Amino acid sequence: MKKTFLIFITILFKQLLFGQGGFSKNYFPNGSFVSVCSDVLEVPNGNIIMTGYSFDNPTGTNRLTIIAADATGSELWRKDYGSDKFEYLDNFLSNRSIIKDSHNFYFYSAVRDSNNKYLSVLIKFSYSGDTIWQKKFYDPNDYLYIQCIIKSVDNGFLMTGLFEDPINPNRTTMLIKLDTIGNELWRKKITKPIPNAQVGNSLIQDSITKKIVIAGYQYNGTASAYSQFANLIVTDSLGNVLQRKSFSGCSNVFSDLIQTKDKKCVAVGQNNQCNNLGGPNGTERYKGYAVKFDLNNLNTVIWTKEFDQTSVYNSISTINELSNGDLILGGSYDTLKNYNILEKVMLRVMKLDKDGNTKWNKLFSRDNSNENSKFIRSLNVTAGGSYLTANWLFFATNPKPYSITKIDSMGCDSTVAYCQTVGFNELIFSNRYLTLYPNPTSDILNIELDDLFAIETAAIKITDLLGRTVLEIEGSEQINIKEIKTGIYFLQLYNKEKLIATEKIIKE
């Protein structure tokens, strides 16, 4: 216990000394009935730009809304774009909608025009929200939906997404090359045998070989019976397909993709566990997962990782690489729905080393309300090493707000005293065996083990922030902490006098 106490004090000291503090903010665009923030980033002067969509009521117009805030999240200005003749459309499968530049930023989105035609746009904005130029992309036969744009190695742009046949059930992967000012140079429709359905969600271009890698999903099977598989496509610099690979499973998808400093690639998404258990009413259950692979040979999978307990809501949506080669993953996680308890989806941020080993895994939850469930849309790293996330409050009542969270470099989304962390994973412990719910709680706390050993053989100890024991009991699936004072505590789980896991609990 002395060693445990010293480790805890070390972590607390690091948080107090180095933690900058974070925040969680909601913004309500004027007159908006439903809003969703799709991306957020720090601009060169330290302010924050967030982009997304607001659905006006009662006119029913989908608008692009840009909001600027200072470094503390206080709103500076907002601007709206679009009309009922040119409506900006949210695609919840698109993770990110901004490309950052030194003096400007680029926004991309699908649009519906006055002829009810679906197209996509790329817009260059100044950091004051003024339009510099806008490019439109149509297809004469299909709807054209953009999912991702990146800067290409020649400083132009590459975009992926899908072409959708408005009559037949065909979705073909879109790959379009643009010059430095957004003019189209060429486009490819990447098809596959029946069922002809595959979508690009993210892409990268290798600086050495100029190869392009697209990550997304495709349907395998027949026209009437098919399953969804995560897939990868590699093309040459002109979009000619060189390799393909789909990943087996009951239903999975890649949402985001990066190229790492060692010139390999990592794709993230969610993977159906194929366990035939399902969630409530047969809902499929997933694990967030990540795959590292060699773009020159898609059959060379370097590692595959799955995260946390199987759940209806368990996904990794976005990924970034830090300067030291560590990986920052953002996603969402909830286990309550598995037990027919109203879901409380929490924001999740994970740090992995380059080999995919978890360094820490943190959940952020303001309260026990379903209203505040957060699905992450994007995660970007600031100059100071903090993380900015754009969140989708799917279960919130209308008017739904923009939601962003700033998490400092120590993994804190508020004051150090409030910050919620999942265990001491950064140093020695792992909480993968232990699930607590509801958390926060005012009385009853349920304890679930992941088939490691019988809870009855365990010992449970609850300590305060100074390491003092406030409750010590033998193993039980449910404990009552009603008599404990309101505050933050740590539940420690022991088996045969060995510390197995530590998880923070909040007593309301």
pLDDT, tens only, 128-151? 999 999 999 999 999 999 999 999
What domain count does the chain have? 1
Q: What is the pLDDT of residue 3?
A: 43
Which residues are 50's β-sheet partners? Answer: 40, 67
Mean pLDDT of the chain: 84
Residue 450 is assigned to a structural domain of this protein: yes
Neighbours of 55 (CB within 10 A): 21
Q: In this predicted structure, what is the pLDDT of residue 319?
A: 96
As a whole number of angstroms, the distance between CA 216 and CA 175 comes to 13
| pLDDT value of residue 431 | 47
The answer to the question of residue 203 being in a domain is no
- The whole domain housing 484 covers 1-19+421-508
Give the pLDDT of residue 261: 96
Whether 9 is covered by a domain: the verdict is: yes
CA distance 271 to 61: 35
335 within domain boundaries: no
Strand partners, 180: none
Within a domain: residue 164? no
Question: Which residue from 242, 257, 240 is spatially nearest to 200, judged by alpha carbons?
Answer: 257
Domain membership of residue 449 (yes or no) is yes
Q: Looking at residue 88, what is its pLDDT?
A: 94
DSSP annotation of 192 reads: -
Q: Cβ of 492: how many Cβ atoms within 10 Å? A: 23
pLDDT in tens, 364-393: 765 556 667 888 999 999 988 899 999 998
Go through 211-228 and write b for each residue having 16 or more CB atoms within 10 A of its CB, e for each that does not.
bbbbbbbbbbeeeeeebb
Task: Output the DSSP codes for 297-359.
Answer: EEEEEEEEEEEEEEESEEEEEEEEE-TTS-EEEEEEEE-GGGGTSPP--EEEEEEE-TTS-EE
Q: What is the CATH number of the domain that holds 456?
A: 2.60.40.3080
| Residue 471 and residue 443 in contact, taking contact as beta carbons nearer than 8 Å | no
Tell which residue, 83, 75, 87, has the closest CA to residue 50: 75
| Residues 290-299: tens digit of each pLDDT | 999 999 999 9
pLDDT at position 32: 83
Per the domain annotation, does 386 fall within a domain? no
What pLDDT is stored for residue 337 in this prediction? Answer: 75
Is residue 4 domain-resident? yes
**pLDDT under 70: residue ranges of the chain:** 1-21, 58-59, 92-93, 273, 275-283, 365-371, 410-411, 414-433, 450-456, 465-467, 498-500
Residue 68 CB-density burial (10 A; 0-12 exposed, 13-18 middle, 19+ buried):
middle
pLDDT in tens, 5-51: 444 444 444 444 444 568 889 998 877 888 999 999 999 999 999 99
Cα gap 201→159, rounded to integer Å: 10
Residue carrying structure tokens 């290798």 = 206
